[in-house]
Amino acid sequence: MSPDAAPRCSSALPATRSTNPADYDRAAGPASVMAKEYADGLTVGEHRHVRAQLIYATHGAIEVTVGQSLWLLAPQRALWMPAGMPHSMRARGAVSLRSPYIRAESCPHGFPETPHAVNVTPLLRELILRAVSIPLDNEPAGRDALVIAHLLAEIEWAPGYPLRMPGGGDRRLKRVCDAMLRAPADARTLDAWADEAGASTRTLARLFLAETGVSFVHWRQLMRVQHALPLLAGGMPVAEVSLALGYETPGAFAAMFRRVTGTTPSAYFRLSETA
């Protein structure tokens, strides 16, 4: 780095920073940021917070379940979690969580009352990392107050793409969805899955729409994107990800990925290298 270059904010965990979410639910000021590390596979059971939360991982991917909706977040996306909303989490790989907790009266007007995807711009990322150093016990003042104000103003909503899971009303559908989740590269058609489930093709197609809200084809695309995100965040080349998910060419996978997420797989790959 040249002498004149501005240093990037570090995402290292502060040595004396609390990792107890309760401390952030009652912290002074409009918002405070918790920094916490999660080992691969670590699960946080269903819980809720007094304050709204922006669930964001600077490294790795984190799986968030809200009711029957499953979100998988890579470093380019965060999830807005309203106050009091029950949710659970699971780390996909080693995860560095940097999560703002936001006081209800400090949420800008129009913030949604349901979980919503957030586009993490480079500026929002740096503001979150800078806010980790702001003390919890005192109302922010001066530059610290400006950082928090800009952080809230920089939150930008992104198109949401949670994976909606069957509600358990039909065991045949759940069996098919569970099998596809275990083997995302499985390319069997709806007809073939219907035979395995012991249902007609028409019945299985109707069940997908009724219980997940989307068609069989769309659900499989969403499921494959969910599997792709942690692989891309971990630095796996797009060509290898496409093969792992059953696509014959990287181009076919990239086209599907862009339709679902609005961005290319390589954008996630580049971000994971700098996060």
Tell me how far apart the alpha carbons of residues 178 and 60 are, in angstroms, rounded to a whole number: 24
Q: State CA 14 to chain mean position distance.
A: 23
Model pLDDT, residue 9: 46
Report the CATH number of the 165-274 domain. Answer: 1.10.10.60
Show the DSSP H helices in 83-189 as ranges. Answer: 122-131, 142-154, 171-182
DSSP 137: S
User: Measured over all CA atoms, what is the biggest interatomic distance in the chain, rounded to whole angstroms?
Assistant: 69
Q: Where do the structural domains in the chain lie, given as residue ranges? A: 21-157, 165-274
Model pLDDT, residue 270: 59
**E strands, the chain, where?**
31-38, 43-47, 52-55, 57-66, 69-73, 77-81, 87-102, 116-119, 156-157, 163-164
* Residue 271, Ramachandran bin (φ over 0: left; ψ between -120 and 50: alpha; else beta): alpha
pTM of the model: 0.79
Burial 87-96 (b: 16+ CB within 10 A, else e): bebbbbbebb
How many C-beta atoms surround the C-beta of residue 262 within 10 A?
12
Model pLDDT, residue 24: 96
Closest alpha carbon to 40 in 61, 14, 66, 71: 61
Q: Would 21-157 and 165-274 be classified into the same CATH topology?
A: no
Helix (H) or strand (E) run with residue 219 in it: helix 216-233
Closest alpha carbon to 118 in 83, 77, 89: 77
Residues of the chain with pLDDT under 70: 1-15, 160-161, 168, 268-275
**Fold entry, domain 21-157:** Jelly Rolls (2.60.120)
Model pLDDT, residue 158: 81
**pLDDT tens sequence across 196-209:** 999 999 999 999 99
